[in-house]
Chain A
Amino acid sequence: MSVDITLDKLSQFFSFNNGHGLLSILVLCILFFFLITLVLFFFAVFLRIKNKLITQQDIHFQKNWDSVFLEVMHDRIHPFDGYKKLKKKHSIRYLFYLEEYVDLLKGKEKERLLTLGRLSLKKVYRYLCSRDHGKIIYGIHLIGIFHPEEQYKFLMLNTNDINTTLTAIREMHAVDDISIKEQLVKILFKLPNISYIYISNLLVEMGNDIVPFLRQVIKNRFTAPNEQMIAIETVRRLHNMECLDLSEKVLTQAQDPGVLSSWLRYLEDQKDMNQLELIRPFIEHPNPHVRTAAIRVYLGLSDTLSAEDILRIFNDSDIIVPINAVEIIARSRTFPYLSTGSIENLKWKDIYKEVLI
């Protein structure tokens, strides 16, 4: 009986006709969402006004900042005196604006502005202890620019957060201390999924100091091909010859196609004639990227092109081999004769004909 009454009440409550209950809920919904809309509307207006004000303020402050930066840059005043003349000198906006100048400068001018920036870092240090992820990132970025060694102390505590760590390391290529550099390289090696080219470009910024460390990686880390690949790519991009003597070890012990093709590209760049015999077998390697790299370096170094080479390249199972070989073949001084019939039988004859033209 009581269940029936409850159900009756419920059905009346939710009735479309007489159910004042449902109607009341819907009216409450209208009021609630209308209120939220109103709040959001005023928030949007507030944001717009705030953005406008910030833009206007920036224009005003930038006039002051510009004049001080120029005076400090040209050594007309000492950074300490410049600091005293600055308005809003502890704001993040100021430091980001100063960063724009620092990015464009080199040498002593840059150094002077960095000194000026360092004087305003007090607030930024507090950011590093903040719970706000954004503030931490800003802090790392700005300290990375103005005081990289200091930033490293913080970095030691945060290696689990990939984004923050990567941001930190990006800003720290200017660091002088070799032991810190080595630590950074180790951290970079641990970051998964980041393009190895990107990491090697970050390492290139650290300069030739890290080559001995990278050499050790190339020599011993055959169980970590990704680290080896990054190390080889960095050495190649640094145009450093100190690792050439590792050729035999790498080419005989490495199994990973990425490591092999990276090493072959390194040899191509270094143009070391002594390695020809070691390279030759890789022309028939099962991986097309290794074959491509081997053919490029082999043809580039030997400067002789036989009919057999042509047949091998233009009958390769993968098109990337002839496409990548074309540039080297076109440079070759000797060009073997191939009959029209054998040209027509080539798998990639279109590409070959283009080389002939």
Chain B
Amino acid sequence: MIKDILFSTITVFNYVVLIYFITMNIWYFVLNIIAYRGLKSYLVRLKVVSPNDKILMKSAPPVTLLTPAFNESQNCIKSVKSQLKIKYPDMKILFINDGSTDDTLEKMLTTFKMEPAFLPKVSQLETKDVKQIYQSQIYPKLWLIDKENGKKADALNVGINYCQTPLFCAIDNDSMLEEDSIARVVIPFIEDVRTIVSGGIIRIANGCKFENGHIQKVDLPRNIWARFQVMEYLRAFYGGRLAWDRLDASLIVSGAFGVFRHSIVVAAGGYLHETIGEDMELIVRLHRYCGDNHIPYKIRYLPDPIAWTEGPTTLKTLGKQRDRWQRGLLDSVLRHIGMLLRPKYKKVGMLAMPFYFIYEMIGPFIEVIGYVAFLLLLLTGNASTAFIVVFLLVSIVMGMCLSVFTLVLEEISFHRYPKFKHMLNLIFVALVENLGYRQMNSWWRIKGTWSYMRKNQSWY
């Protein structure tokens, strides 16, 4: 009797997995097709509107670059030097030393000849204390805020408090922006005053050659884990974010590169301290804030402003990163679960939130439990080996298909990986990643969910 019930439960669950799997892949295909259409019209526009256009740049609003840094002694000089080379008519750089315990501060002070200076605090977001503000004597647009340690969100909030411009750009210290990235990413703010956030694409820097903080040669990383990430990033940014942008329902603008309207972020309360995914949480909160207050707004993603970032190269660090991302996702979605299926939040509430909830949040669980359930059916003789093999093959072929679709999107647009062997390599990665890497990702995400639940019992 118990055996029968168990068998029926597993069988029903397997049907759930099957339906889940089919709907998920249909969704991803639809998103890719939307992304393809969006990319095509964007490319047309790009051909006639250059970011260096004289009239556009005359109308460009001033931007402050916020770079929070904690113990970044090795990267800080290189990264600030690359930021100083960004071509933009009115830009200030605010380097925020978040209580580093290494020699980040000393290096910055001596390299850029920084002296104590005054900068008025324009907003009052709650943060840890600021110790001193400095200004470079060589580059007057470069400022440094030395503050007590309070993590990334706190450092960014300090930056927002001292930001004097209508827009600010939050970037990671290890990200390197291309020279015209800011000029490209602010265009939506000029052409549509409803724009409150605009983000660019993040690409993996491993394997590429940089000189003075600027990309000289694009190449694929030798490290296999980093190579998998190249494919993953392309898929996420082309297939995912571009489509969500077309649907006007972007839920993520990467913390590594995004430009925000200062006034609206301050009004919404700035970055949240007690979350691990402060970038996604802020975007979801901005959707909520604007929806609640009936503010017309746009959150945009553009595929051509590029920030290059180093991806993890060991399984351990990669696992930790994915664990952190999953916790961030869970935290952002669960904090704002009230937006789910609420027509007030338009496509965000009716489309994006359910998608993230079903496919991104609980997806890894269903995938891994599905593997276990199929294994059980196989062991108990209630499923044929042929069926299991065929089902796995469907999943692999669909995954491959989506990845190759992403490569087509890269080819019709910016084809930044110049050599023919790059493309073949990426196609090979698209095939191989389904045999182990994808499953590992699901495992890391389950671990992330587990650690999130353990630390936040009160939520459940």
Task: Give how many A residues have a beta carbon under 8 Å from the other chain's beta carbons.
Answer: 54
CB atoms of B164 and A323 under 8 A apart = yes
Instruction: Judge whether B185 is part of the interface by a CB distance below 8 angstroms.
Output: no
Smallest CB separation, A259 vs chain B (Å): 16
CB atoms of B405 and A40 under 8 A apart = yes
CB atoms of B191 and A202 under 8 A apart = no
Instruction: Judge whether B55 is part of the interface by a CB distance below 8 angstroms.
Output: yes
Bound together, the chains give a CA A357 to CA B412 distance in angstroms of 57
Instruction: Report the stretch among A31-39, A113-121, A177-185 that lies at the interface.
Output: A31-39
Q: A34's contact among B49, B190, B192, B397, by CB below 8 Å, is which? A: B397
CB atoms of B44 and A138 under 8 A apart = yes
CB atoms of B407 and A30 under 8 A apart = no
Chain B residues 378-393 with CB under 8 Å of chain A are 381-384, 386-387, 390-391, 393
Please judge, given known A-B contacts A163-B45, A201-B55, whether A16 and B14 are in contact too, CB under 8 Å: yes
Q: Which residues of B contact A354 (CB under 8 A)?
A: 118, 120
Instruction: Judge whether B30 is part of the interface by a CB distance below 8 angstroms.
Output: no
Instruction: Judge whether B24 is part of the interface by a CB distance below 8 angstroms.
Output: no
Of A198, A348, A354, most B-chain CB atoms within 10 Å? A198
Q: A198's contact among B164, B191, B408, B415, by CB below 8 Å, is which? A: B191
Q: B397's contact among A22, A33, A47, A166, by CB below 8 Å, is which? A: A33
Q: A48's contact among B47, B393, B420, by CB below 8 Å, is which? A: B420
CB atoms of A30 and B394 under 8 A apart = yes
Secondary structure call for the A interface: helix
Instruction: Judge whether A41 is part of the interface by a CB distance below 8 angstroms.
Output: yes
Range for the number of chain B residues in contact with chain A? 35 or more
Q: Which residues of B contact A30 (CB under 8 A)?
A: 390, 393-394, 397
Residue of A nearest to B427 (CB): A41
Chain B residues 399-429 with CB under 8 Å of chain A are 400-401, 404-405, 407-408, 411-412, 415, 420, 423, 427
CB atoms of B394 and A37 under 8 A apart = no
CB atoms of B122 and A323 under 8 A apart = yes
Residue of A nearest to B404 (CB): A40
Bound together, the chains give a CA A29 to CA B395 distance in angstroms of 10
Instruction: Report the stretch among A66-74, A80-88, A189-197, A215-223 that lies at the interface.
Output: A189-197
CB atoms of A51 and B48 under 8 A apart = no
CB atoms of A193 and B45 under 8 A apart = no
Chain A residues 52-96 with CB under 8 Å of chain B are 52, 96
Q: B48's contact among A19, A22, A45, A137, by CB below 8 Å, is which? A: A137
Instruction: Judge whether B189 is part of the interface by a CB distance below 8 angstroms.
Output: yes
Of A16, A26, A51, A138, most B-chain CB atoms within 10 Å? A16
CB atoms of A133 and B48 under 8 A apart = no
Instruction: Judge whether B58 is part of the interface by a CB distance below 8 angstroms.
Output: yes
Chain B residues 419-443 with CB under 8 Å of chain A are 420, 423, 427
CB atoms of B44 and A134 under 8 A apart = yes
Please judge, given known A-B contacts A37-B400, A40-B404, whether A193 and B386 are in contact too, CB under 8 Å: no
Instruction: Judge whether A307 is part of the interface by a CB distance below 8 angstroms.
Output: no
CB atoms of B407 and A44 under 8 A apart = yes
Q: A137's contact among B45, B164, B390, B415, by CB below 8 Å, is which? A: B45
Chain A residues 148-194 with CB under 8 Å of chain B are 163, 166-167, 170-171, 173, 193-194
Instruction: Judge whether B138 is part of the interface by a CB distance below 8 angstroms.
Output: no
Smallest CB separation, A307 vs chain B (Å): 21
CB atoms of A18 and B384 under 8 A apart = yes
Smallest CB separation, B160 vs chain A (Å): 14
CB atoms of A37 and B397 under 8 A apart = yes
CB atoms of B383 and A17 under 8 A apart = yes
Instruction: Judge whether A351 is part of the interface by a CB distance below 8 angstroms.
Output: yes
CB atoms of B415 and A51 under 8 A apart = yes
Instruction: Judge whether A205 is part of the interface by a CB distance below 8 angstroms.
Output: yes
Instruction: Judge whether A272 is part of the interface by a CB distance below 8 angstroms.
Output: no
Q: Which residues of A contact B391 (CB under 8 A)?
A: 26
Bound together, the chains give a CA A196 to CA B15 distance in angstroms of 56
CB atoms of B193 and A195 under 8 A apart = yes
Q: Which residues of A contact B390 (CB under 8 A)?
A: 23, 26-27, 30
Please judge, given known A-B contacts A30-B390, A354-B118, whether A197 and B40 are in contact too, CB under 8 Å: no
Q: Which residues of B contact A41 (CB under 8 A)?
A: 404, 427
Smallest CB separation, B27 vs chain A (Å): 15
Smallest CB separation, A168 vs chain B (Å): 10
Q: Which residues of B contact A43 (CB under 8 A)?
A: 408
CB atoms of A195 and B191 under 8 A apart = yes
Instruction: Judge whether B41 is part of the interface by a CB distance below 8 angstroms.
Output: yes
Instruction: Judge whether A350 is part of the interface by a CB distance below 8 angstroms.
Output: yes
Instruction: Judge whether B23 is part of the interface by a CB distance below 8 angstroms.
Output: no
Q: A319's contact among B40, B120, B386, B387, by CB below 8 Å, is which? A: B120
Residue of A nearest to B57 (CB): A201
Residue of B nearest to A197 (CB): B59
Instruction: Judge whether A141 is part of the interface by a CB distance below 8 angstroms.
Output: yes
CB atoms of A16 and B411 under 8 A apart = no
Residue of A nearest to B384 (CB): A17
CB atoms of B404 and A16 under 8 A apart = no
Bound together, the chains give a CA A184 to CA B411 distance in angstroms of 38
Q: Which residues of B contact A96 (CB under 8 A)?
A: 47
Bound together, the chains give a CA A354 to CA B61 distance in angstroms of 26
Bound together, the chains give a CA A286 to CA B14 distance in angstroms of 65
A-B contact list, 26 entries, CB within 8 Å = A14-B15, A16-B387, A22-B387, A26-B391, A26-B393, A29-B394, A29-B397, A33-B401, A36-B401, A40-B401, A40-B407, A41-B404, A47-B408, A48-B411, A51-B411, A96-B47, A137-B44, A140-B48, A167-B45, A167-B49, A194-B193, A195-B59, A195-B189, A195-B190, A319-B120, A354-B120
Q: Given A16-B382, A348-B120, 14 other A-B contacts at CB below 8 A?
A: A14-B15, A17-B384, A30-B394, A33-B394, A33-B398, A40-B405, A41-B427, A47-B408, A51-B411, A137-B44, A141-B48, A170-B55, A195-B189, A205-B55
Closest 10 CB pairs of A and B: A134-B44, A47-B411, A198-B59, A141-B48, A16-B383, A40-B404, A37-B401, A33-B397, A354-B118, A26-B390
- Interface positions of B (Cβ within 8 A of A): 11, 14-15, 40-41, 43-45, 47-49, 55-56, 58-59, 61, 118, 120-122, 164, 189-194, 377, 381-384, 386-387, 390-391, 393-394, 397-398, 400-401, 404-405, 407-408, 411-412, 415, 420, 423, 427
